[in-house]
Amino acid sequence: MWAYDFECDKTMAEIISALNESGPWQWVWRDKDAFGPYISSVPLEGVSVRIYDLDGYYSNGPTYTADFKLGEGCKSEWATIDRVFRELLGNLPARNVTIGEGYD
């Protein structure tokens, strides 16, 4: 697992719209008691990513976390996944991107 913390002036609704418009990954809405509504994608077999608000339920930024998990048997390379995601962050545009801890 790895994660990125970032800032973005968009709301979660605007983020999911921008990410789905720019592709190549498709994002869907989810909800978890621990941190409220979030968006997730399964861009490749064995890979999952989710974006949630660091400030908790319904705050809509500006601070977010994106965390990644690679399942057993995943044939995708970290570097390939990371490169695509960094391009997506640039499309938002995200700023102050740093290594994060993620949430399990």
pLDDT tens digit sequence for 67-97 = 999 888 777 788 888 999 999 999 999 999 9
Verdict on whether the full-model pTM lies above 0.85: yes
pLDDT in tens, 17-41: 999 999 899 999 998 777 678 999 9
Q: CA-CA distance, 26 to 21, in Å (whole number)?
A: 9
The whole-number pLDDT of residue 72 equals 80
* Measured distance CA(15)–CA(1) in Å, rounded: 22
- Structure-token pair, residue 102: 């993620």
**Superfamily of domain covering 2-100:** Sirohaem synthase, central domain (3.30.160.110)
Distances (CA, A) of 21 to 14, 18, 50, 85: 10, 5, 17, 14
How is residue 92 written in tokens?
Answer: 């938002």
Burial of 77 (0-12, 13-18, 19+ CB in 10 A): exposed
